[in-house]
Amino acid sequence: MKAMKKIVCIALALLLTAALTVPALADEVDDIKKAGVLTVALSPDFSPMEFVDSTKTGQEQYVGFDVSLAQFIAGELGVALEIQAMNFDACQTAVAMDAVDLSISGYSWTESRAENFELSDYYYAGDNETEQVLLIRAADAEKYTSAEAFDGLDVGAQNASLQQMLVEEQLPGANLKIIGEIGVGVMELQAANIEALAVAKGNGEQIIANNPDLVICDWQFEVAAEYEANVVMLRKGETALLAAVNEALAKAYAAGYYGEWYDAALELAASEGALEVSVE
C-alpha cells in the first residue's frame, strides 16, 4: 500500500514538472524576436500621425508620430520594423486576422475596439484629437453652423473610425458616406460630392494648410475625454506583446519623446514632400 502511494506521488510530481516545463503557448514576443522583425499596419493618410514623404521610397516614405513610436517599440524589442501600409479599416482586419503583429494608426480608444482587440495604455500625440470637427468648403462657412444644418446632407467619415461613430451619434439627420481614405474624402468634399468630412482637428488643420478652399465648421462634435488620446491595437489575447508595448510606452513617455516626435511630425508635415495618401 505504501509503495502504491509512493508511485502515485512520483507520478503526480512528474506530471506537475511536465506541465511546468511545457513552453508557454504562442508567446508572440518570442516569435517576434526569433523573426527579428515587428510588422506594424498603418494607414498613412492621417498627418501628423502617419503620412507619406513623397521624396522618399520604400519603408522610409512612411513618417509621422506613430512611425517614430513604432520604431521605438521595435527598438525596445531589439528587432527591425516593417511597416505595412493599407487602408484604415484594413489595418484593423489585419490585426484581427493575425496578418501583422500590431497596428499603430492614430486609434482612439473606443468601447467596441476594447471589446474586440487588446488596446495599449494611452499615448498622447499633441492636441491632434482633443477636438473632432467637420471640414466644409469655405464658401459654406455661413451656411453650416449647427448639427441640424446637415440634416438630409451627405457627410463623409473614414470607415471604421471614431469619426464615423461620431457622425452616427451626433448627426443622426445626415446621410453618412463611408470613405476609405481621408485623401479621397477631401477630394469628394472639394468636388461637392459630400457636404462635410468628419476629421480629427489636428488632422483637419493639416488638410486646410494644403487646401485653402476648405475650413473647419463652427459646429464641432462633443468628445468624451476617453477618446482624446490614442492607443496601440493588438489581437485579442496577445497579452505578452501588450505588456511589452505598454512598457515601451511608459519608457518613451518618461523620456519625454512624445513631444519631440510630435514636433518633428508637424515639421515634416509642413514640408514639400508630405502627402495625405496611402499606397494602393
**Site residues (vs ligand ARG, CB under 6 A):** 43, 45-46, 50, 88, 105-108, 129, 158, 161-162, 182, 200
Of 29 and 43, CB closest to ligand ARG: 43
Residue pointed to by grid coordinates 503557448:
25
Q: Residue 250's CB: how many other CB atoms inside 10 A? A: 12
Q: Which residues contact 30 (CB under 8 A, 6 or more apart)?
A: none
DSSP 3-state of 162:
helix
Of 162 and 244, CB closest to ligand ARG: 162
Q: How far is residue 280's CA from residue 278's CA, in Å, rounded to a whole number?
A: 6
Of 171 and 200, CB closest to ligand ARG: 200
Q: Which residues contact 177 (CB under 8 A, 6 or more apart)?
A: 154, 155, 156, 157, 188, 193, 194
Of 153 and 277, CB closest to ligand ARG: 277
Minimum CB distance to ligand ARG, residue 203 (Å) = 8
Minimum CB distance to ligand ARG, residue 161 (Å) = 3
Minimum CB distance to ligand ARG, residue 127 (Å) = 13
Minimum CB distance to ligand ARG, residue 27 (Å) = 28
Minimum CB distance to ligand ARG, residue 18 (Å) = 45
Of 74 and 91, CB closest to ligand ARG: 91
| Cis previous bond, 44, omega within 30 | no
